[in-house]
Structure 1
């Protein structure tokens, strides 16, 4: 008898809580909370989720590198230490950082699992998940732009 349950839910007993840490300035990412927030079931293994989150962290940390370096030059050792300003509170900054990472990881998970089932139903499911991937990418960009205080819209005159 197999203990494998296709599409089963991940429980705290089956996968211990894990945090992914990157640069000490940034908050750690709680994989259990991310899995719950994005409603990622056990069909995505812990190793695959971790890989997606690490890739997301690398991307978001690169997007915010200049901002981080400037804050560290001001003497702040962690994002949570950066004081409120007219633009954001430090709680909002932490939330936007985590949201950007979650959305980037969510998009990667969706992209990787699009072609998992190559049957007709798999193709239909891939088509249905495409807007979700785009939504995750959009939300990732918006979180980074909101974090930096940039406009969400870029307009060029032709």
Structure 2
């Protein structure tokens, strides 16, 4: 038996560039989300463009609504868009706020796509696959919560003494 692996990625490989025409805007304050980048990250088949576009739009609305009070504070402080808000730290040239925004949006989309895959067309023969999909959806939903809480500087877990 001969097993081979692809060569490891090198650090000098250029990240894919996505056309701006595939960007979905969110009122100019929040960063736009590129539909093709989401497709790659969430692994959605190319034939589902309108379904994916709808999922991205809804995700952006959900997260923007969740962060509306924080945004109002930032606008009152004179920041015209998220990119103008000084980040607490930068990773790979992006502020932590931008990174959390994208993680939250992508995770909402991934959970939505996963939930759709769990629809009524799943047969009893795929029970193991169903459990894997449910676990994936749960992980994406958790990541949404973590991203929003991290964005707001809140602890991820709330525990009360009994």
What range describes the TM-score normalised by the shorter chain of this pair?
Answer: 0.7 to 0.9
* Structure 2, gaps ≥5 residues long: 1-19
Aligned residue in 1 for 2:35: 31
User: How many residues align structurally?
Assistant: 140
1:9-158 pair list within 5 angstroms: 18-42=22-46, 45-84=48-87, 87-89=88-90, 91-115=95-119, 117-158=121-162
Q: CA RMSD in A?
A: 1.9
Task: Output the CA distance in 1 between the equivalents of 2:81 and 2:144.
Answer: 21
TM-score by length of 1: 0.80
Q: Secondary structure at the match of 1:29?
A: strand
Task: Output the CA distance in 1 between the equivalents of 2:26 and 2:127.
Answer: 36
8 Å CA contact retained: 1:104, 1:136: yes
TM-score by length of 2: 0.79
1 or 2, which has the higher strand percentage?
A: 2
* Structure 1, gaps ≥5 residues long: 1-15
8 Å CA contact retained: 1:115, 1:122: no
Task: Output the CA distance in 2 between the equivalents of 1:119 and 1:155.
Answer: 38
Judged with a 3 Å threshold, the aligned counterparts in structure 2 of structure 1 residues 62 and 88 are, in CA distance, closer, same or farther, namely: farther
Judged with a 3 Å threshold, the aligned counterparts in structure 2 of structure 1 residues 101 and 76 are, in CA distance, closer, same or farther, namely: same
